[in-house]
Structure 1
Amino acid sequence: MSEVLNVEAIFGENVFNLGTMRERLPKNVYKEVKKVMDQGGELSLATADIVAKAMKDWAVEHGATHYTHWFQPLTGITAEKHDSFIGHPDENGRMLMEFSGKELIKGEPDASSFPSGGLRATFEARGYTAWDITSPAFLKEDATGVILCIPTAFCSYTGEALDKKTPLLRSMEAIGEQALRIVKLFGNTRATKVTASVGPEQEYFLVDRQKYLKREDLIFAGRTLFGAPAPKGQELEDHYFGVIRERVGAFMKDLNIELWKLGVTAKTQHNEAAPAQHELAPIYETANIAVDHNQIIMETMKKLAERHGLRCLLNEKPFAGVNGSGKHNNWSITTDDGMNMLDPGETPNENIQFLLVLACILKAVDIHADLLRQSAADVGNDHRLGANEAPPAIISVFLGEQLEDVVRQLIETGEAKSCLLGGKLMTGVSTLPDLPKDATDRNRTSPFAFTGNKFEFRMVGSADSVASPNITLNAIVAEAFCEAADILEKADDFDMAVHDLIKQYLTEHHRIIFNGNGYSEEWVKEAERRGLPNIKSMIEAAGALTTERTVKLFERFHIFTKAELESREEIEYETYAKSINIEALTMIDMASKQIIPAVIKYSQKLAKTVLDVKAAGVEPVVQADLLSRVNSKLTEMKEALEVLQREEAAAFAMEDVKAQAFRYKDVVVPAMEALRAPADELEMLVDKADWPFPTYGDLMFEV
């Protein structure tokens, strides 16, 4: 047996959390910090100095030499600049470790070197990071040593948000304020705060590092741009929840320990559907901490994979022909007195507050379907959504049989007199208990599914930040709550008004509900008939950021300004164009320097074999046929390569960023596919010993 691990003892040991603050801060200082965390406001500089010293002393005791303002720019990953605690030496030349409240509260990274969509230029470099007091500081150990990481927001000198955290915090305040209005309408005087909570599940692939390093496409693009299917994929469904391999298990063990030390509630681990694919799921947390922790999870996965001789692939579609990876963004809203506003109770037909909340969410998702789709848009996700492995690109809501029946009754008769009950599942085995059965099945094909007491937004890509979808969810639901509260607060007869409003919203937005097979062609046609948008690509979705409706929504709740939205739309186009350009150049490099030379050498071997067999007096039928097929595909590949080179150069030269992005999508991507097709066929023809890099079988089954 291995050494017993005391999870309770190590959990959060590398986090400057409330428990640590309570131990290290004077009582009055702790109370002030807690009040600001709960109610907002600013710490006095004197208090900030005390907190900073306690934080520094704690970090130094744990071996820290530097601190960093850890922030989330619009790259989708995190950024950090390390400063040591070293201060000016005293008159005796003795150095003292220093960290002030001013340094804790504000930093100043270069704002011009991050994506800004035109909000910042090179000659306008100043930007600020501001301490997010609601997300605890933590220690991270890397090759440079132990670093104190302070979660911060990042904004420009002129005040625009240049990050993911700032608008997320704004959106949390918006939904908290509007949800509290709804709660109070139903007589809840105990609740003083409502918080959005999130539990993002994380899917990922693990491959052998040495094999990874032999594939330029994985190194530069994060996914395979060439590759014939392995003889076995996921068709036997034997990997999903299967026994975890020893090497992967060792990685998962170390990953859990590292995450637990960082206060991340890593709960569930298992093999996913595709070979070499896995999943980690944490417990629910407030939205901003969940977003921070998801970034920590991804960073830690990549770091620990290296230590185990592995490489963690977070791209949404690293391998063609098998499932890609996503995040299931489980979202709910909870009051500070412990009530989940998405809990229907045992008789949801009688739970009027829940029915109003549900009706508001349906309204929000229907009206802003394009914006919700955009919030999950990234380059890799274009290959995953709608590929019969993930939700389609069409936004719809799954409620299940029980709630759909309640909604139907309300629409048809104005009241729901009954609801379907779950009953019992009879196992038929005397030694097994009969199991309580839920009233509703699950639907893995739905992009936005109600799953008991939360909504699961399944569209989000595995490499993407979960900030954007949660900003959008918080904002659109806040708007629906606000509009409902505006009506109900003025009503003379509240019971009648809320009854009429629920029926109105359900009737007007019933089209967004779909419980069937989201993968079917019939649904695509049905969705079109209903008038639901089918936005298939990242750049087609980008325009949703700047519609009049979206600008009005975000400005109303002070989440984004119009300028901030316009900058984000431009960044979407830039990101897409740059990413596809990298992929195209990588394909050109691999085709020119690896695949074509390898195939030429192999064809030379075949040609010699043909001549040798002829010289022996035998007709080389098989050898000649193989040589002909190889040369035919080689010619096809060379022609496709020349087309891609020409189209990539033409797209790269374009100056209009939106037009450039569409040129990459409409012209360059098809040219890439045309190059890949003959290359993958050649992989099936060429001797494996002559193929220049590891195959799908090598990557997915030899971990």
Structure 2
Amino acid sequence: MSKVPELFGSLVFNDTVMKERLPKDTYKALKATIQKGKPLDLSVANVVANAMKDWAIEKGATHFTHWFQPMTGITAEKHDSFISPTGDGNVIMEFSGKELIKGEPDASSFPSGGLRATFEARGYTAWDPTSYAFIKDGSLYIPTAFCSYGGEALDKKTPLLRSMEVMNTEALRVLRLFGNQDAKRVITTVGPEQEYFLIDKALYNQRKDLMYTGRTLFGAKPPKGQELEDHYFGTIKPRISAFMKDLDEELWKLGIYAKTKHNEVAPAQHELAPIFEDTNLATDHNQLTMEIMKKVAERHGLACLLHEKPFAGVNGSGKHNNWSISTDTGLNLLEPGNSPHENAQFLIFLCAVIKGVDEYQDLLRVSVATAGNDHRLGANEAPPAIISMYLGDELTEVLESFEKGGTYEGHGRVDMETGVKVLPHFQKDTTDRNRTSPFAFTGNKFEFRMLGSSLSIACPNIMLNTIVAEELSQFADILEKSKDFSAAVTAIIQDTMKNHKRIIFNGNNYSDEWVKEAERRGLYNLKSTAEALPYYIADRNIQLFTKHNIFTPEEMHSRFEIQLDNYCKVLHIEALTMLEMARRDILPAVGGYIKDLSETAQNKKAFSPQLGCQVEEALLEKLSNLSYCLYKKAEKLDEAILGAKNHTEITDSANYYYESVFGAMRELRAVADELETITAEKHWPFPTYGDLLFRV
């Protein structure tokens, strides 16, 4: 491997490359666009495009593509070569500023939620200069936004950039009131930790459910799961270590700050954590990370599973969204400092987060609502579907002292006592961490832990940016009109605690007691995607996003339609896959075992009437009864699938799939999993959980 500093960003048209290859005036103009949002002149774009093309060709690229993030949740790309005919039968390599800043992919087949008719095919991609171009698989990738002919956002990047602009505007208003004139820009930063499973590719190919749906629809619990907790942070197996090394190198080439790697709790489960960066870049980089994980796994004869719950009975996979607010001068606005009770600026930003999370808890729940994540939330492996915040004892006490009008008496730092003299002495943090909280303060950032592993981080961060910007806007309105600034700050903190402290919970979010307490506090408990998504288009939420020009009402309704439609389609595909596996694989396999047992019993009796056949007869009876039960459950699921045609309204359809189709799927699985435990291994038609989780 090359030296990491030399390898890092070697396939990225980053700031260093731009400084080297662009004329000073062009570089200065481009930086003004990136940092200050100034319009980019076509003449500047032409120079940038030519430099990009030359650099890309030197790196072996022959094509370029506008890389965008449609509402499918994954990325999209259409590749064009740099070749241009010369008229004498030859070609030259060209790339213009016009081609750089605008593309026109066919928009007709991407989800639009009613924003576009199928015959209205025109859509536009627009270069996002704030996210660096890069080279992958012989093409120059240009990160872009994606919109319709009418200007509606058809992607995840456009509203994310809008939300970041709103956050910048409102946060600067507050900073100016605190006397900060140095900061010119406020950005939100994210470090998304990515959990995933790795299993043997040959075994993966023998499971239709994994290939079609990303998760196992059948599978009995193996003798060993995660009970011993011996996989968590355990020694990494050589084959997995080789994958991780290769993955790090590929990510580093693309300028992705892959930092931490380790084994997670469940067998065959792992995690990669990057260093935080600008939310827009972090979103692009996380999409790339998921794609490259799968490609690198293939090279090593592995399959990378990013589904939130690939295996029942062991922990699923999430994506922890570490979110913070910083200035262009390097100031972290969520850094409490050594005396948080005296840090009024920090407390105002903290209160904006508290108030926003409480008032818009439904939007945060909506932002992580998917069919896959429904299996994970509330399963004592991830936060419940109830939104709450963990602040820790010290910050909670600070805010409570303000609420009561008293003085906070700090506890001071305490030395850690290990009882071993040779170990170094160090001071404990003022508060512990809470791994059960869905939204936890972890020192100078918030960790939003409800995201599913396959989710684009764009939507949760759009929500976070917008709701906090809204609260900062309200606070700025109050502070700008106040005659006594300090008194107004104190009043905001007191009001926040008085009206919104219900959202703060520092205890065990997994406990049944918390569910009851949350209900008493009036917090939402939206257990399924079908139940949560209608809150997306509640009047107050539409007003929030239209006020800040993040979404139009039409764009919000389209996203609501797209997500519910996706939910129904995912369950439909899973149900059809279950039927095929039950009827074409499991029933014939069990029938083959029944035949073997019958022949064994007959042979024993033929050999000697005195030989007992009690085992065979008992197994035959149980297998026959369960096979018939499986057949009937499959019929019930088939009927439920057919019944879905009677529900044409999207909300009604989603509720039907959750209550009827998914319910029938659970019943079918229960019988199949019991059959697996008594069917001879040689007859069972696909690899078991033991094979998938431990044969890596």
Q: TM-score range by the shorter chain?
A: over 0.9
Give distance in 2, aligned partners of 1:604 and 1:689: 13
Counterpart code for 2:113: G
Q: Is the 8 A contact 1:349 1:418 kept in 2?
A: no
TM-score by length of 1: 0.98
Greater CA drift, 127-136 or 418-427: 418-427
Deviations 1:302-342 (A, max 9, x none): 11111110000000000000000010000000011111110
The answer to whether structure 1 residue 301 and structure 2 residue 298 are counterparts is no
Cα distance in structure 1, aligned partners of 2:226 and 2:116: 47
Q: 1:349: how far off? A: 1.0
Q: What SS does structure 1 have at the residue aligned with 2:324?
A: strand
Tell me the residue number matched to 1:33. Answer: 30
Answering whether residue 58 of structure 2 is matched by residue 96 of structure 1, we say: no
Q: Distance in 2 between matches of 1:13 and 1:5?
A: 11
Q: Residue 139 of structure 2 aligns to a residue in which SS?
A: strand
Q: Does 1:514 align with 2:505?
A: yes
Show the counterpart of 2:337.
345
Mapped to 2, the partners of 1:418 and 1:159 lie a distance apart of: 55
Amino acid corresponding to residue 583 of structure 2 in structure 1 = S
1:170 aligns with 2:166: no
Which residue of structure 1 lines up, in the alignment, with residue 670 of structure 2? Answer: 677
Tell me if 1:425 matches 2:378.
no
Q: Aligned-pair distance for 1:9?
A: 0.6
Match runs of 1:139-178 below 5 Å: 139-141=135-137, 146-178=138-170
Contact conserved, 1:640 with 1:674, CA < 8 A, in 2?
yes
Q: Aligned-pair distance for 1:652? A: 4.1
Name which of 256, 264, 276 aligns with 1:272: 264
Q: Identify which range, 632-641 or 421-430, moves more after superposition.
A: 421-430
Question: 1:201 aligns to what SS in structure 2?
Answer: strand
Deviation at 1:547, TM superposition (A): 0.8
CA distance in 1, matches of 2:541, 2:198: 39
Separation (CA, whole Å) in 2 of partners of 1:454 and 1:137: 28
Answer yes or no: is 1:592 the counterpart of 2:583: yes
User: What is the alpha-carbon distance in structure 2 between the residues aligned to residue 661 and residue 513 of structure 1?
Assistant: 32
Would the aligned equivalents of 2:190 and 2:282 in 1 still touch at CA under 8 Å? yes
Counterpart for residue 225 of structure 1: 217
Match among 121, 131, 134 for residue 117 of structure 2: 121
Give the 3-state SS of the residue equivalent to 1:424 in structure 2. Answer: coil
Contact 2:325 2:332 in 1 (8 A): yes
- Partners of 1:571 and 1:159 lie apart in 2 by 18
SS in 1 for 2:682: helix
Corresponding letter in the other structure for 2:117: A
Task: Work out which of the residue numbers 66, 70, 75 in structure 2 matches 1:73.
Answer: 70
Report the Cα offset of residue 358 of structure 1.
1.1
Q: Distance in 2 between matches of 1:613 and 1:507?
A: 80
Aligned to 1:665: 658
CA distance in 1, matches of 2:381, 2:478: 42
CA offset at residue 548 of structure 1? 1.0
Quote the residue 1:479 is aligned against.
470
Deviation at 1:416, TM superposition (A): 3.7
Is 1:693 the counterpart of 2:686? The answer is: yes
Alignment partner, residue 308 of structure 2:
316
Q: Is the 8 A contact 2:403 2:493 kept in 1?
A: no
CA distance in 1, matches of 2:87, 2:139: 28
Residues 176 and 584 of structure 1: CA distance in aligned 2, closer, same or farther (over 3 Å): same
Which residue is equivalent to 1:646?
Answer: 639
- CA-CA distance at 1:41 after TM superposition: 2.1
Q: Is structure 2 residue 6 aligned with structure 1 residue 9? A: yes
Aligned residues: 694
Aligned to 2:627: 634
Which residue in 2 is equivalent to 1:87? 84
Q: Match of 2:230, as an amino acid?
A: D
Verify: 1:493 aligned to 2:493, yes or no. Answer: no
- Counterparts of 1:230 and 1:419, CA distance in 2: 50
* Residue correspondence of structure 1 range 488-637 to structure 2 within 5 A: 488-615=479-606, 616=608, 617-637=610-630
C-alpha separation in 2, matches of 1:431 and 1:121: 72
Give the corresponding residue for 2:132. Answer: 136
Contact map agreement 1:581 1:652 (CA 8 A) in 2:
no
Q: 1:154–1:161: 8 Å Cα contact kept in structure 2?
A: yes
CA RMSD of aligned residues (A): 0.9
Alpha-carbon distance, 1:404 to partner: 1.3
Matched, 1:57 2:50: no
CA distance in 2, matches of 1:527, 1:416: 29
1:575 counterpart SS class: helix
The answer to whether the 8 Å contact 1:329/1:460 transfers is yes
SS for the counterpart of 1:83 is: strand
CA distance in 1, matches of 2:400, 2:665: 48
User: Equivalents in 2 of 1:524, 1:614: separation in Å?
Assistant: 60
Secondary structure at the counterpart of residue 410 of structure 2: coil
Equivalences for 1:312-461 in 2 at 5 Å?
312-412=304-404, 414-461=405-452
Cα shift at 1:626: 1.3
Residues in 2 aligned to 1:397 and 1:540: alpha-carbon distance in whole angstroms: 22
Rounded to whole Å, the distance in 2 between the matches of 1:250 and 1:468 is 33
Tell me the distance in 2 between the aligned counterparts of 1:336 and 1:419: 32
Contact conserved, 2:402 with 2:490, CA < 8 A, in 1? no
Shift of residue 540 of structure 1?
A: 1.3
- Out of 370-379 and 467-476, give the one that drifted further: 370-379
SS of residue in 1 equivalent to 2:411: coil
Of 88, 102, 108 in structure 2, the residue corresponding to residue 106 of structure 1 is 102
Q: Partners of 1:559 and 1:175 in 2: how far apart? A: 11
Question: Which residue identity is paired with 1:208?
Answer: D
Q: What is the distance in 2 between the residues matched to 1:511 and 1:56?
A: 55
Q: Distance between the aligned counterparts of 2:475 and 2:42, measured in 1?
A: 41
Aligned counterpart for 1:258 among listed residues 250, 257, 262? 250
Any unmatched runs of 5+ in structure 1? none
CA deviations over 1:279-320 (Å, ceiling 9, x no partner): 000001000000000001000001111111000000000000
Once the two structures are superposed, residues 628-685 of structure 1 have per-residue CA deviations (whole angstroms, 9 ceiling, x without a partner) of 1111111111100000011112214532222111111110001000100010001000
Structure 2 Cα separation of the partners of residues 206 and 250 of structure 1: 12
Contact 1:539 1:572 (8 Å CA) reproduced: no
- In 2, distance between residues paired with 1:524 and 1:610? 54
User: How far apart in 2 are the matches of 1:665 and 1:72?
Assistant: 28
Evaluate the alpha carbon distance shift between residue 26 and residue 308 of structure 1 in structure 2; reply closer, same or farther with a 3 A threshold.
Answer: same
Distance (whole Å) between structure 2 residues aligned to residue 614 and residue 660 of structure 1: 56
CA distance in 2, matches of 1:650, 1:60: 56
Letter of the 2:463 partner, please give it: T
Which whole-Å CA distance do the structure 2 matches of 1:22 and 1:608 have between them?
Answer: 79
What displacement does 1:158 show? Answer: 0.5
Counterparts of 1:653 and 1:17, CA distance in 2: 54
The 8 Å contact of residues 348 and 419 in structure 1, kept in 2 or not, is answered as no
Q: How many percent identity over aligned positions? A: 59
Q: Is 1:182 aligned to residue 180 of structure 2? A: no
CA distance in 2, matches of 1:354, 1:81: 45
- Distance in 2 (CA, whole Å) between partners of 1:149 and 1:694 is 39
Partner of 1:87, secondary structure, is strand
Distance in 2 between residues matched to 1:246 and 1:55, nearest whole Å: 39
Conserved? CA contact 1:402–1:421, under 8 Å: no
Q: CA contact under 8 A between 1:228 and 1:696: conserved in structure 2? A: yes
